[in-house]
Structure 1
Amino acid sequence: MAIDVRPARKADIPALARVLGRAFQDDPVLAWVQPDAERRKAALPGLFGALTRHHFMAGRGTEVAVSDDGVAAAALWDPPGRWMQSPREQLAMLPGVMRAFRGRLAAGRTLTDLMKAQHPDESHWYLAIIGSDPTASGAGLAHALMRSRLDRCDAEFAPAYLESGNPANIPYFERFGFEVTEEIVLPDGGPSLWPMWRAPR
């Protein structure tokens, strides 16, 4: 399968949001924030669409992997110095967030606050979200997206940072040079997040 990695366009947002919604349907952290599986399935595309439209597109760090069937994977990156959402962006994203986390807004705020508290101060590229359509798993889509941005990080001699909410994905990110720096344990028996840092090569 031929894979084309390119910057996302506004017209890609609906397809990108659907792909990420399917990719994160069973994510442990999002399942903790919104335990209702049907509500999560219905709301995640809207959440990812709002995040992309009102924050990530402005930072020009959003890329998609396109196959013969269209957008099949996406990576949402923040460039150095831009990982924090502005008050205007937060307000624009609020309807999508409220639909996704209805009844669990306090849990969503807890997650956000814990992530912000551990976010490194050093200038870096931040991989907030990466996912591919489960129907295309193993096709190399996420790998192509990772290589595209990490090659740029190396060219700029810039570090990269992410949080993995799924322990099964840690070895995958380690193959790209990321290293676990700590563990964030969510309260009330929640799952863990593993911050990971990659020095430039």
Structure 2
Amino acid sequence: MGITVRPAQLSDIAELARVLSIAFSDDPLMSWLIRDDVTRARRVAALFTAQARHHFIPLGGAEVACNDANSVVGAALWAPPGHWHVSDSAMLAQLPGLAFAFRRRLLVAARLADRMAAAHPREPHWYLAVIGTLPGVRGQGYGKALLNSRLDRCEAEGVPAYLESSKPDNVPYYERFGYEVTGTLDAAKGGPPLWPMWRTPRGRETRW
């Protein structure tokens, strides 16, 4: 089985968004924000479409993992150092997708994003906003390949990395790659918590 990780192109957006919407179908935070089980997948796909098209792909931070058939089975959205905060112009471009995704809870989502931004580290770093694979390929190394693709660059450049895990079960997985929990973030104000995780570059020997 061959695993290919490559930069995402605009032509990949539909498939990237579909894969991530499936990967996040049981995500506690997405389920809390988008409470309709019937429409959630389509609305989450619209969210990731807007984010990929107007923020992560233009910044060179979107990657996809493909199988032997060259089908996209995983994706990661990273923001490079100094660009984790979405610009006003990019946010305006994303607004139709965000409105479709969150509907009446758009203001709730905006407040959550503001709380996450307030707690976000200011030191330059690579920010892993989203990573996911199709359920059928989990455990086959696609997530690992996606993570190592960007973390190898972090090591080469001596740059830290940061993420917020929305699932406590995923925390030990990220710890294998050198991330450490820095606390618990109640960004949803009574909703599902987040676990901020910071990774200091330590050299190639930490690669898993």
Structure 1 residue 187 displacement after superposition = 4.6
Mapped to 2, the partners of 1:85 and 1:171 lie a distance apart of 29
- Match in the other structure for 1:153: 154
- Match in the other structure for 1:55: 55
The 5 Å alignment of 1:122-133 reads: 122-133=123-134
1:190 aligns with 2:204: no
- Match in the other structure for 1:4: 4
Mapped to 1, the partners of 2:115 and 2:189 lie a distance apart of 14
CA contact (8 A) 2:44 2:101 kept: yes
Mapped to 2, the partners of 1:126 and 1:186 lie a distance apart of 17
Mapped to 2, the partners of 1:101 and 1:169 lie a distance apart of 25
Mapped to 2, the partners of 1:158 and 1:165 lie a distance apart of 23
Aligned pair count reads 201
1:190–1:14 CA distance, 2 compared to 1 (3 A): same
> What is the identity, as a one-letter code, of the residue corresponding to 1:11?
S
1:32–1:151 CA distance, 2 compared to 1 (3 A): same
DSSP-derived class of the 2:121 partner: coil
The 5 Å alignment of 1:11-30 reads: 11-30=11-30
Structure 1 residue 186 displacement after superposition = 4.1
1:96–1:169 CA distance, 2 compared to 1 (3 A): same
DSSP-derived class of the 1:59 partner: coil
Mapped to 2, the partners of 1:108 and 1:175 lie a distance apart of 30
- Match in the other structure for 1:81: 82
TM-score normalised per structure 1: 0.97
The range that moved more, 119-128 or 132-141, is: 132-141
TM-score normalised per structure 2: 0.93
DSSP-derived class of the 1:195 partner: strand
Structure 1 residue 8 displacement after superposition = 0.9
- 1:46-78 Cα offsets, whole Å, 9 max, x none, are 110110000001110111111134011001000
- Percent identity among equivalent residues? 54
Mapped to 2, the partners of 1:158 and 1:196 lie a distance apart of 14
Mapped to 1, the partners of 2:171 and 2:142 lie a distance apart of 17
DSSP-derived class of the 1:22 partner: helix
DSSP-derived class of the 1:90 partner: helix
- Match in the other structure for 2:205: none
Structure 1 residue 110 displacement after superposition = 2.1
- Match in the other structure for 2:112: 111
Mapped to 2, the partners of 1:125 and 1:186 lie a distance apart of 21
Mapped to 2, the partners of 1:163 and 1:188 lie a distance apart of 16
> What is the identity, as a one-letter code, of the residue corresponding to 2:39?
R
CA contact (8 A) 1:39 1:100 kept: no
Q: Deviating runs (4+, > 4 A) in structure 1?
A: none
Mapped to 2, the partners of 1:78 and 1:186 lie a distance apart of 20
Mapped to 2, the partners of 1:75 and 1:195 lie a distance apart of 17
> What is the identity, as a one-letter code, of the residue corresponding to 1:20?
L
CA contact (8 A) 2:116 2:187 kept: no
Which residues of structure 2 form unaligned runs of 5+? 203-208
